[in-house]
Structure 1
């Protein structure tokens, strides 16, 4: 079947909206993304998972428009083509415990219409090797650790070298070494397409992402580079021996001093801002 490879932005959202009863989970989001690794930050309940599920074509929006890889998922033929070129890792992937790792990935490959048995076997082996599970391919899912199960689900998402990879908290259950391996894997994947991932870890964003989107209450509060997000807090951070009552927020650091964030008091020297500082200010801008 001829594939519809259309030169276009990877993600184009216009007034995208999703409601659940009286709750608006995604509230008129406009966003355009094209290439690289994009980090999605936001507090719990901000609408990140709902947004990612729409990007993965699991949910349909209630209003607004959504185009992915130049295709409209509202059109059945284009949605089918899109799913061939899309990889998705949900926040809590449901895996069949009686399957082996290889059987689970092969099952997903069949669903994605990898019809040639020999090529499908090679592809399943390739992605399991990519996530470091080549030697556990014949282990039952129920016998694997939580981190290994997460990597099986990631392997399934990587089938076919997707042009758009959507990952909801991909580092969940991974140890520090595996997190570093994940960074390398996603950085390599992003050289050929777009990776959109949600995380609560700003260190992951700083180390991996070319762009960052901060979402609160279903709306985008910031979109730009990690350096630009950090820049929101430049000149608004200072340290003191006790919590400064003039600060918007204060917390004790490892050395016992207090770090303060807010409007810099007169005569006080600012401290270097961090990504966490900028994220906090971006979140507060929506309150």
Structure 2
């Protein structure tokens, strides 16, 4: 399956240009869409999901025109938006039954078998008769995936799915996504670098509605090999000097001290040690280049 996006642009009535001549190709794999808040990720996901039209450009899904053939696309699509609203007093079982009918699964036996399988797959079977309002954040996200998988979609879009989850629920959710990604194409839109690093063989970094990088995370990390250096800094004055005189990638607090990471072809100064590059270094480096 191929999703091909060409020259996509979108400006909202308030003047915000969310997408700027964006082009991207997504094949049969788990694909990570990484970017800061306001990068245009949700606008792109909503456009792919046929919830809004672009001002310019095209999207095709296996040759189907996403903009003009919305009904055909929706039969192939599962979508978990960033804010997923449900009827809070309805049980998961009843809600999935209702949504399955809306998705065209009209045969009662087929519907029952599909829903039972999804509740087991998302580890919600024992809570199937409980009101969704009583679910934890992670359970609600797992329910969101269950509804997205109704009617066996070929493309699943998940938008910021782990934001706000505790570490245990995040791990459960990522394991669930990994299993799904073996059978269907999944687009994972997030600002959390580790989610993409752990799950996705291909990714794109976007900011300001444009693609800054597209490729394999491992290849992007390898391109920075030998160029990342780190140092623990005690004073704000030294930190400001490094920010002013070097290519700063990021800073982190470690035991109350600043750990600085800089980009340089050779050791940039006293006290710096070589640091193994990671996807977070790729991410911050590309964002900085995009702002330059």
Q: What TM-score does the superposition give when structure 2 sets the normalisation length?
A: 0.88
User: Aligned to 2:178, what secondary structure does the other structure show?
Assistant: helix
Q: Does 1:231 align with 2:231?
A: no
| Structure 1 residues 214-243: Cα deviation after superposition (integer angstroms, max 9, x where no partner) | 010000000011112323533332123433
Deviates further, 85-94 or 145-154: 145-154
Q: In 1, are the aligned partners of 2:48 and 2:66 still within 8 Å (CA)? A: no
User: Aligned to 1:155, what secondary structure does the other structure show?
Assistant: helix
Q: Does 1:273 align with 2:277?
A: yes
**Which 5+ residue runs of structure 2 have no aligned equivalent?**
234-238
**Which 5+ residue runs of structure 1 have no aligned equivalent?**
1-7
Cα gap change, 1:180 to 1:69, in 2 (>3 Å): farther
Structure 2: distance between partners of 1:247 and 1:262: 8
Cα gap change, 1:170 to 1:240, in 2 (>3 Å): closer
**Residue 42 of structure 1 corresponds to which residue in structure 2?**
35
Backbone CA RMSD of aligned residues: 2.0
Report the number of matched residues: 277
Deviation at 1:266, TM superposition (A): 5.3
Cα gap change, 1:157 to 1:26, in 2 (>3 Å): same
**Residue 58 of structure 1 corresponds to which residue in structure 2?**
51
Structure 2: distance between partners of 1:260 and 1:173: 27
* 2:115 maps to which of 105, 112, 124: 124
Deviation at 1:264, TM superposition (A): 4.3
Q: Does 1:83 align with 2:74?
A: yes
| Structure 1 residues 65-110: Cα deviation after superposition (integer angstroms, max 9, x where no partner) | 11123211233xx422221111000001011112111111122211
Deviation at 1:191, TM superposition (A): 2.2
Deviation at 1:267, TM superposition (A): 6.4
**Residue 113 of structure 1 corresponds to which residue in structure 2?**
104
| Structure 1 residues 16-67: Cα deviation after superposition (integer angstroms, max 9, x where no partner) | 1111022210111111111111111111111000001111111111110111
Deviation at 1:185, TM superposition (A): 2.4
Structure 2: distance between partners of 1:225 and 1:167: 19
Structure 2: distance between partners of 1:266 and 1:184: 39
Deviates further, 268-277 or 242-251: 242-251
Aligned 1:1-287 pairs, distance under 5 A: 8-9=1-2, 11-21=3-13, 22-75=15-68, 78-242=69-233, 243=239, 244-245=242-243, 246-249=245-248, 250-254=250-254, 256=257, 258-264=259-265, 270-287=274-291
Structure 2: distance between partners of 1:174 and 1:271: 29
Cα gap change, 1:85 to 1:270, in 2 (>3 Å): same
User: Aligned to 2:254, what secondary structure does the other structure show?
Assistant: coil
